[in-house]
Structure 1
Amino acid sequence: MLPVQEYINHFKDIWNNSSEDLPDFHKIYSKEEKLKHEIHFDGFQKKLKELQNVRKVQQLKKDPAKSFFPMFRSFLDTVFDFDSSHLEIILSDEFKDVSKDFFYKAREFAPELSPEDIYQGMRNVWIMNGLQLMAQKPVKITPSVFAYSMIYPYSDNLLDDPEISKEQKVEFSSRFDQRLHGHEINPQNFNEEQLYKLVSMFEEEFPREEFQNVYESLYAIQRGQTNSLKLSPEYGLSDDEICTICFEKGGASVLADGYLVGGKLTMEQERALFGYGVYLQLLDDIQDVKEDSMAFTNTMFSCLEEKHLGKFVNKTIHFGRETLKEMSCFEGTQTEAFIGLMNRSIETMIIESVGLNHLWYDKTYLAELEQFSPLHYSFIRKKRTQGKSQRFALLQKYFDSSREKLAV
């Protein structure tokens, strides 16, 4: 078995020693700078709307990628101030191609899923592509990258669905666990049938006898998912027990990412990936505080009183910065740039999430953190209420343009 408890204890120590003070960020944005960024944001949205014009799309059919990606690059640069080294990764041909590849493969495998569900899986694809980059492996959609990323829309959404009883979730988890262990299980429904097909893709790429730890990592994430079903008030878990479950679930998830990318890892790499996963789990908990509270799900974050939420956010950022240092054990030529991109992206999402969930924080903390946002919090909330998330809208536009090109 993988030393999951050892990794949990290691990152608990880092968490407990992380400061609750407001972190230093790379830049404070003045009101004038925010307004300038918001003008760029609105300008980008206007250009996106122009691309919805049939005549305009017809004009761009011959090369839609060239028309979209320079515009997208400008958006990331002028609105969110991403460094040029980060943009080279995000907008590299490799990353663009794998995103398209995943989108079309997902459409073919699962036409019943919504574009939002596919986007949920794509976020994991990007994590795995980054790990491929750091492990000096080709950045592409392997069978296991595809299968593991598609598990999210099926498994996670079922386990997070408040309309499904805990008994049903436990029974599903038990059957899925048996299938992960290589047993032949009869699927009880279409959802399980799809999941079992995805497990077969792991088995084809990584034979169980040769890659035992690949499957140990899958067992670990399944245990984490199952244990997370206990995150409801009726179980009466202590704060430390809640922390253990949250760390286990998040850490094991990215540990599995690593094994499904490389097949084999050193213990140093295992631990680093586990910590990265814990950091992403804390980000998810900050982003989902409203949903978790309404569903009576006890996370480390949703249990806190308003006066402690800001300190938790600060602590998460300090924890993440310390934890991501361990990722330098990967020796890829772009490892340093990718670590910087990960940290910058996560911190941007944390700052944005605080603004979107402003009713959960005291006004003093909101004012402190908003200094480091390139956009006013009121502007972010207005854009979010207008419809789909901006990230999904951008991707959808690119894929729509790509389909137009293929139709020519």
Structure 2
Amino acid sequence: MDTWETIREDDRYRITAAVKTVTDVWKKTPAVAGAWMFRAISVKERAENDKRCREVWGKLNGHLQSFPQAVHGQKMWREKAEKALSDAMDKDVMFQLGRLPGDVRNGFLEAVRTFIRHTRVFDRELVLEDLGQALRNYFVYFMLCLADGSDRWFHEAIWGYSLLYPYTDNFLDGEKTRQEKAAFNCRLEQKLNGIKTEAEDDLEQKVFSMVDSVEDIYPRKIFSGLYDFLLTIYDAQIKSMEQQGKTEKTAEELLQMSAYKGGASIYVDQCMIDGNLKEKDVLFLTGFGLFLQLADDLQDVDEDAGNGHQTLMTLSAGAGFLDEIVGRLLSFLKYVFENYWSGEEAYKGFVLDNCVQLVIMTVFQNEQYFSEKFKRKMEEWSVLPAGFFAWMDAENTKNRENMQHGPVNMMEILDVWCQVPSLE
């Protein structure tokens, strides 16, 4: 019996019924998102947001370009960066951060700074893309903290858990043989089971250190459920690897795998708040986890299709436009929040709208998969005009190129902002 089935049969989690309920809801959800579901944004409001975001973006980019190489000028630069970031968060509409109270935004910014500082002290070799992957998981945790009424926005367990994602991906995506990857998975399973295990190389040692960071905060003997869910995530990862290149999966099989992966991941995020999963949260988390997994698959649809990875999104893309499945995704999201939300009511709108805007942004960043009619409909709900996202991608590409040819890189700039101790 695999880890997932063991967890589903354990009554203390009460997950079996939640998974069935959520997947049944998905299958019954209409493929067309009703116009009434989300607030329509006026052309005037979108234009105002567009102007404001471009101005903020320009100021932030200008400040990055003004980074001084001389150490004596970096303290003043950092102080100005604080003001620029605070102003950007106050005016943010893309991620909805401007809706949060000022003390919450400041606390979030400090938590992100601490996260990056911990990471840079631990591993100077981690690249910006991998740091971004870890921070995306951290942001899900932050939203769950708000829903739970917790201000425990940083601790080493969530830091370690978030970094497990890029570290394990780097190992499994690296130039290792199938036998080496299988051996790594076996050792990782032993480590997650609490069995003393020796790492075979530096990257593997980093993975094991992240597990240790979790266990330092949440001892295995007291918080055993957390480790069951961690095991489930990597069980899902192995199954996902096994299905690559094999016979095609049905939509039902891919749906169950998505619920499996998404559920396990968000259960761990929730456990990171205080070590436990509360029964009252299971139904919402199961639905939210499925949404996040499918949203992630939407973001990766082009890459997954090219690599032969099977997801519900690649299955739908093979049959034509993604209009229907993304319409269903938004309808499903609305249903989950309206019927299963179990958190603080004050933050329900923030989390929901953040998710809606994430999907809309992904649609415009992968516009070749959608009809013109569908894109026009998405723009009605978007806080920013469709053209903004193409502009943003172009600006990001230009900034990356400038950094590659400049005297300093982004990680060195982050070191100054986060006040990372010098290695010298």
- Quickly name the TM-score band, shorter chain normalised: 0.7 to 0.9
Corresponding residue for residue 154 of structure 1: 167
- After TM superposition, the runs of 4+ consecutive aligned structure 1 residues lying more than 6 A away are 395-398, 404-407
Q: What is the 5 A alignment of 1:225-374?
A: 225-305=237-317, 307-325=320-338, 328-330=341-343, 335-374=344-383
Q: Is the 8 A contact 2:313 2:325 kept in 1?
A: yes
Aligned to 2:12: none
Amino acid at match of 1:211: F
**Is residue 33 of structure 2 the alignment partner of residue 22 of structure 1?**
yes
CA gap of 1:115–1:63, structure 2 versus 1, over 3 A, is same
1:210 maps to which residue?
222
8 Å CA contact 1:121, 1:149 repeated in 2: yes
Task: Provide the residue aligned with 1:86 in structure 2.
Answer: 100
Give the CA RMSD over aligned residues.
3.1
CA distance in 1 between counterparts of 2:243 and 2:42 reads 38
For residue 417 of structure 2, what is the aligned residue in structure 1? 402
- Give the partner amino acid of 2:27: N
Name the SS for the 2:316 alignment partner. Answer: coil
Matched-pair identity in %: 22
- Residue 339 of structure 1 aligns with an amino acid whose one-letter code is K
Query: Per-residue deviation at 1:205?
Result: 2.1
Q: Is the 8 A contact 2:171 2:203 kept in 1?
A: no
What does residue 376 of structure 1 align with?
A: 385
Structure 1 residues 366 and 61: CA distance shift in structure 2, 3 A = closer
Q: Whole-Å Cα distance in 2 between the matches of residues 110 and 327 of structure 1?
A: 40
Q: CA deviation at 1:381?
A: 1.7
Contact 1:356 1:377 in 2 (8 A): no
The answer for the alignment partner of 2:132 in structure 1 is: 119
In 2, Cα distance between the equivalents of 1:396 and 1:336? 37
Distance 1:166 1:373 in 2: 44
Question: Residues 355 and 164 from structure 1, CA distance in 2 versus in 1: closer, same or farther, beyond 3 angstroms?
Answer: farther
Instruction: Answer yes or no: is the 8 Å Cα contact 1:128–1:258 preserved in 2.
Output: yes
User: CA–CA distance in 2 between the matches of 1:42 and 1:338?
Assistant: 27
Which stretch has the larger CA shift, 206-215 or 65-74?
Answer: 65-74
After TM superposition, the structure 1 stretch with the greater mean CA deviation from structure 2, 360-369 or 312-321, is 360-369
Provide Cα deviations, 1:264-293, integer angstroms capped at 9, x if missing partner.
222232332232211111110111110110
**In 2, Cα distance between equivalents of 1:205 and 1:102:** 16
TM-aligned CA distance change 1:2 to 1:375, over 3 Å: same
Change (3 A) 1:58 1:151: closer
Residues 61 and 404, structure 1, Cα contact 8 Å, conserved in 2: no
Distance 1:148 1:382, change over 3 A: same
> What residue number does 1:143 align with?
156
Matched to 1:114, the amino acid is: V
Deviation of 1:327 after TM superposition, in Å, equals 5.7
Structure 1 letter corresponding to 2:277? L
The alpha-carbon deviation at position 152 of structure 1 amounts to 1.1
TM-score, normalization: structure 1?
0.86
Q: Does the 8 Å contact 1:64/1:405 carry over to 2? A: no
* Structure 1 residue ranges without an equivalent (≥5): none
How big is each residue's C-alpha offset from its partner over 1:178-206, in whole Å with a ceiling of 9 and x where there is no partner?
11001122222211111111112222222
**Matches of 1:162 and 1:376, distance apart in 2:** 38
C-alpha separation in 1, matches of 2:30 and 2:200? 48
Distance 2:31 2:102 in 1: 33
Q: Matches of 2:48 and 2:269 in 1, distance apart?
A: 39
Distance 2:97 2:315 in 1: 36
CA distance in 2, matches of 1:244, 1:29: 38
The answer to whether the 8 A contact 1:65-1:402 is kept is: yes
Show the counterpart of 2:185. Answer: 173
1:5/1:175 Cα in 2 relative to 1: closer, same or farther (>3 Å)?
A: farther
- AA aligned opposite 1:365: F
Q: Distance in 2 between matches of 1:96 and 1:276?
A: 24
CA shift digits 1:328-353 (9 cap, x unpaired): 434xxxx2233322211111111111
**Matches of 1:231 and 1:376 in 2, distance apart?**
39
Q: Within the alignment, does 1:385 sit opposite 2:394 as a pair?
A: yes
Other structure's SS at 2:249 match:
coil
Equivalents in 2 of 1:89, 1:29: separation in Å?
30
Q: Which residue in the other structure is 1:129 paired with?
A: 142
- What do the CA deviations read for 1:192-229 (whole angstroms, capped 9, x no partner)? 11111111222222222222111111122122222222
Aligned 8 A contact 1:73 1:87 in 2: no
On the 8 A contact 1:224/1:248 being kept in 2, the answer is: yes
In 2, the alpha carbon distance for the partners of 1:251 and 1:347 equals: 19
Counterpart code for 1:18: T
For the residues of structure 2 that align with 1:389 and 1:15, how far apart are their CA atoms?
A: 40
| C-alpha displacement of 1:146 | 1.3
Aligned partners of 1:94 and 1:139 also within 8 Å: no
Q: How much does 1:175 deviate?
A: 1.9
Between 1:106-115 and 1:217-226, the stretch displaced more is: 217-226
Unmatched segments (≥5 aa) in structure 2: 1-5, 9-14, 404-409
Looking at structure 2, the residues matched to 363 and 375 of structure 1 have their Cα atoms a distance apart, in angstroms, of 17
Relative to the length of structure 2, the TM-score reads 0.83
Q: Report if the CA contact (8 A) 2:90-2:97 is conserved.
A: no
Residue identity matched to 1:177: E
Letter matched to residue 114 of structure 2: D
AA aligned to 1:199 is V
Counterpart for residue 112 of structure 2: 99
AA in 2 matched with 1:264: N
> CA 1:74–1:201 in structure 2 vs 1: closer, same or farther (change >3 Å)?
closer
